[in-house]
Amino acid sequence: MKVCKAVIPAAGFGTRFLPATKAQPKEMLNVVDKPLIQYSVEEAVDSGIESIGVITSRGKSAIEDHFDISPELEHFLEEKKKLDLLEQIRRISNLAEFCYIRQKQALGLGHAILMAESFVGSEPFSVLLPDDIFDCEVPCIKQLLKIHQKYNATVIVLMRVDEEGMKKYGIVKSKQISERVFKVEDMVEKPGPRKAFSNLAILGRYVFTPKIFEMIKHTSPDHRGEIQITDAIRLLLEEEPVYGYLFEGNRYDCGDKLDYIQASLKLALKRPEFKEPLSELFIKNVDTNDNS
């Protein structure tokens, strides 16, 4: 069955980015020259997704405006003959069909995904977390969709991590079934190196069967009162097979301030117009007190 829908959870508080996220959504933070969430939307669209459900909350209306038409701006750009920019702006509002769904309280990622149940219906669907930017020849979610087509099951994206990564991400216990495909047996959230089953971490891309909704409803909140998607996937493992896929390409973590700064620099360095001036800046060994 072709997967046509994607869910992008964007209703969190973004506390690790405060004060930047006090009155602006984390998902709208700029990376090089577009907001974080646009990377996920473009990845979904490039993977054949037609309809995107964004989970939002109070204070997130900038996301809706960003993917809407902008008549005054378009008129202004047309008058000024800035046709390149005009085309870019128009393209954004035509990327996909958008649906915005409220999560009234930030009760965790699992809960946010559950809010999309009526949007998704009884079809398999994909989930993209906007904090992760994937830069891959074949879009990351497209790689997962291919595995989903083969096994007709839930697929989560995996990446090998070091000991630091074992403190930061969910880690899976699995059986390898081919070079990049793993059958997941168990998973644990941020175990640290001593308790980790492996060095295979779960990142922010998933293709779920609709059964996940039932599992989320049976998932108890954690010690912080949040319903975690990892716990719901553990319940799903008792009912259905779940596969992990070691994706091909690069991934940039934009989840906290340091990772975000690093990701922004690495992605800017990949752009021909910024590569030389930025490299020069680093060769000069940036002095932050320098006004020149």
Is the alpha carbon torsion for 178, 180, 183, 185 positive or negative?
positive
CB 36, min distance to ligand UTP, A: 8
Q: Which of 267, 269, 264, 289 is nearest to 280 (CA)?
A: 269
Does the protein bind ligand UTP through residue 127 (CB under 6 A)? no
The window from 10-18, 42-50, 64-72, 175-183 that contacts ligand UTP (CB under 6 A) reads 10-18
The window from 77-85, 127-135, 188-196, 233-241 that contacts ligand UTP (CB under 6 A) reads 127-135
What residue type is assigned to position 52 of the chain?
A: I
The window from 4-12, 231-239, 266-274, 277-285 that contacts ligand UTP (CB under 6 A) reads 4-12
Query: Scanning residues 16 to 75, which ones bind ligand UTP (CB under 6 A)?
Result: 16, 26-27, 55
Q: What is the rounded CA–CA span in Å between residue 267 and residue 54?
A: 25
Query: Scanning residues 211 to 270, which ones bind ligand UTP (CB under 6 A)?
Result: 255
Of the residues 38, 47, 103, 209, which one makes contact with ligand UTP according to CB under 6 A: 103
Does the protein bind ligand UTP through residue 203 (CB under 6 A)? no
Structural element, H or E, at residue 157: strand 154-160
User: Judged by CB, which is closer to ligand UTP: 54, or 184?
Assistant: 54
Q: Which of 242, 246, 266, 237 is nearest to 254 (CA)?
A: 266
CB 202, min distance to ligand UTP, A: 12
Q: What is the rounded CA–CA span in Å between residue 70 and residue 67?
A: 9
Of the residues 49, 129, 145, 232, which one makes contact with ligand UTP according to CB under 6 A: 129
Does the protein bind ligand UTP through residue 112 (CB under 6 A)? yes
Does the protein bind ligand UTP through residue 130 (CB under 6 A)? yes
| 3-state percent breakdown (helix, strand, coil) of the chain, nearest 5 | 40, 25, 35
Q: Where are the alpha helices (DSSP H) in 189-269?
A: 192-195, 211-217, 229-237, 257-269
Q: Closest residue to ligand UTP, Cβ-based?
A: 12
Of the residues 11, 133, 145, 181, which one makes contact with ligand UTP according to CB under 6 A: 11
The window from 13-21, 85-93, 138-146, 205-213 that contacts ligand UTP (CB under 6 A) reads 13-21
Q: Contact positions toward ligand UTP, by CB under 6 A?
A: 9-16, 26-27, 55, 103, 106-109, 111-112, 129-131, 255
